[in-house]
Amino acid sequence: MHKMNPEELAKLSQQLEGSLHTDDLTRTIYATDASVYRKIPLAVAYPKNALDIQKIIRFASKYHVPIIPRTAGTSLAGQVVGEGIIVDVSKHLNRIIEIDAVNKTVVVEPGVVRDELNYHLKEFGLFFAPNTSTTNRCMVGGMVGNNSSGTTSIRYGVTRDKILELDCLLADGSEVSFKNLNPIEFQQKTKLKTLEGKLYQSIFNELSSDAVQNQIKTYFPKPEIHRRNTGYAVDALLENAVFGDSEKPFNFSKLMAGSEGTLAFTTKIKLQLDDLPPANNIMVVSHFDSIEKSMNAVLVAMKHRLYSCEMLDKVILDCTKNNPVQLKNRFFISGDPKAIMMFEVASHTPEDAEIQAENLLSVLKQSGFSYADVTLKGNEINQAIELRKAGLGLLGNMIGDRKAVACIEDTAVSLKDLPSYIKEFSELMDRFGQEAVYYAHAGAGELHLRPILDLKKSGDVRLFREITQAVADLVQKYKGSMSGEHGDGIVRSEFIPQMVGKAN
Ligand SMILES: Cc1cc2nc3c(=O)[nH]c(=O)nc-3n(C[C@H](O)[C@H](O)[C@H](O)COP(=O)(O)OP(=O)(O)OC[C@H]3O[C@@H](n4cnc5c(N)ncnc54)[C@H](O)[C@@H]3O)c2cc1C
């Protein structure tokens, strides 16, 4: 990185309506996210508007300084840790610009908190569906950056599926709007004599080639894995009228989702909303004496119309035992299960919800995998969801230097591969002398698995790397996704060529 003269930064600061900070305290606060990494940035900016961001981009380009867009900083893989200028848009770019209840869309700035957005949408009977465990703080810009998802993905999809338009600034500071284009509109874009035009020309040259398309189809995760956040999502640019057989329009936003702030800076986001889920929901919580049995039950349950399908293991459940807040949310736990599965059904009428829950219960009982099945309703469900949401955070609070570390924590495989993948994964963890922690969006084939390591010890740092490599090999064997939702960041970026093919 260019050795920066403080006067140059001071000049930039004077040009901004917002502010730029180079003091040690601010830079130290911004040295981490929720990953294992720490890097002190050169400076931290709070832009007031898109014009400020444009000035920062032009400055960064002139002096060859990286910029790191940031919203809430809850990334788990080191996406918002870096030595350049952190550009935090959470302070000023946090307006909900327009709610269109008729067309079920909303336009927001990137710093809008996901739960706050849904609070405002509720009166219209609408919501923004992607649902991370961090919804009370994570922001739409970061959700787009990481293509985030959560418990709702099996019914509503991931963030990528919800983006209609993105207003962005490119590397030269020019403004673009990425939205649906038919083949004629696409060709018009390729004729522009701007950086935007170059983007359309180069993607057209690349993806028009059958060889390139085949390469992508061969190496990217199996098509049925809907949670896939490894590498740039060029595979998502093939399903449209420009490059494929589909009638769908081309939209560069598909590629922007999950690009982790490395392709363009987003200043405005238009999202497709969904009707609020049916009000009558019932949760069946099945208890298992082995992880394997819980995974087999997923295959049975997923034949039903589930709204969520989530798994917690004993290690996580035990973390909630010592937490005064979560203790009261454990009321439904029966015995000392190795794993529980939370299966949620919902309907517009209470009667139909009851029928769905009874049908589900009956097949679960017949399959014989669980030793207890508990039914939850109303606020009981909220308590169970709270317990599940708290799980991953509580893991980070393990007492002592040994921590459940994020490196292989959200691999995803095809649902039908899940039981055998889990089995091989457990054997692999045994070989490394690890007790794995299982926390899964099981219905989506995604597992949150974390080795417990003391990264203050060099031996464990070596293990961190070796375990990540071994899991990458295993995921590749199943043609899965090294990350289902958390993204590549620093921790997984070196595995991208292995996972999606060098040429891709
Ligand atoms: C305890 C815990 C649980 C989690 N559970 C889940 C989960 O269930 N599902 C899930 O998907 N994730 C989960 N995450 C990861 C994380 O919360 C999500 O990825 C979240 O959506 C990130 O939002 P953020 O506002 O914190 O973004 P940040 O971390 O600030 O940024 C995320 C990415 O977006 C980029 N970005 C931000 N703003 C812009 C912009 N304006 N323009 C361009 N790029 C931008 C950043 O550069 C970065 O690459 C979890 C994290 C933690 C700590």
Interval 264-289 mean pLDDT: 97
pLDDT at residue 108 in the model: 98
Q: Using alpha carbons, select from 403, 387, 282 the residue that is nearest to residue 345.
A: 282
Q: Is the pLDDT of residue 392 over 70?
A: no
pLDDT at residue 354 in the model: 97
Q: Distance between CA atoms of 378 and 282, rounded to whole angstroms? A: 8
Per-residue pLDDT of 345-369, as tens digits, reads 999 999 999 999 999 999 999 999 9
Per-domain residue ranges of the chain: 6-88, 96-274, 280-395
Contact call for residues 169 and 178 (beta carbons, < 8 A): no
Residue nearest to atom 41 of ligand 1 (CA): 266
Q: Is 69 in the pocket of ligand 1 (CB under 6 A)?
A: yes
Task: State percent of the chain over pLDDT 70.
Answer: 99
Q: Is 266 in the pocket of ligand 1 (CB under 6 A)?
A: yes
Q: Is 73 in the pocket of ligand 1 (CB under 6 A)?
A: yes
Contact call for residues 64 and 34 (beta carbons, < 8 A): no
Question: Is 6-88 a domain of CATH 3.30.43.10?
Answer: yes
Q: Distance between CA atoms of 438 and 92, rounded to whole angstroms? A: 38
Q: Distance between CA atoms of 66 and 260, rounded to whole angstroms? A: 13
Q: Is the pLDDT of residue 331 over 90?
A: yes
Per-residue pLDDT of 128-187, as tens digits, reads 999 998 999 999 999 999 999 988 899 999 999 999 999 999 999 999 999 999 999 999
Q: How far is the CA of 450 from the centre of ligand 1 (A)?
A: 18
Q: Which own/partner contact pairs does 435-439 have at CB distance under 8 Å and 24+ positions apart? A: 435/315, 437/313, 437/315, 437/316, 437/395, 437/404, 438/291, 438/311, 438/312, 438/313, 438/315, 438/316, 438/339, 439/311, 439/312, 439/313, 439/316, 439/391, 439/392, 439/395
CATH class of 96-274: alpha beta
pLDDT at residue 1 in the model: 62
Q: Is the pLDDT of residue 394 over 80?
A: no
Q: How many CB atoms lie within 10 A of CB 495?
A: 22
CATH number of 280-395: 3.30.70.2190
pLDDT at residue 39 in the model: 97
Q: How far is the CA of 495 from the centre of ligand 1 (A)?
A: 20
Residue nearest to atom 3 of ligand 1 (CA): 133
Atom of ligand 1 nearest to the CA of 147: 11
* Residue 171, both tokens: 């590397």
Domains 96-274 and 280-395 share a fold: no
Q: Is the pLDDT of residue 438 over 90?
A: no
Q: Distance between CA atoms of 315 and 296, rounded to whole angstroms? A: 20
pLDDT at residue 76 in the model: 94
* Residue 419, both tokens: 């039981």
Per-residue pLDDT of 197-210, as tens digits, reads 999 999 999 999 99
> What are the beta bridge partners of residue 310?
342
pLDDT at residue 449 in the model: 78
Using DSSP's 3-state secondary structure scheme, residue 305 falls into coil
Residue nearest to atom 7 of ligand 1 (CA): 132
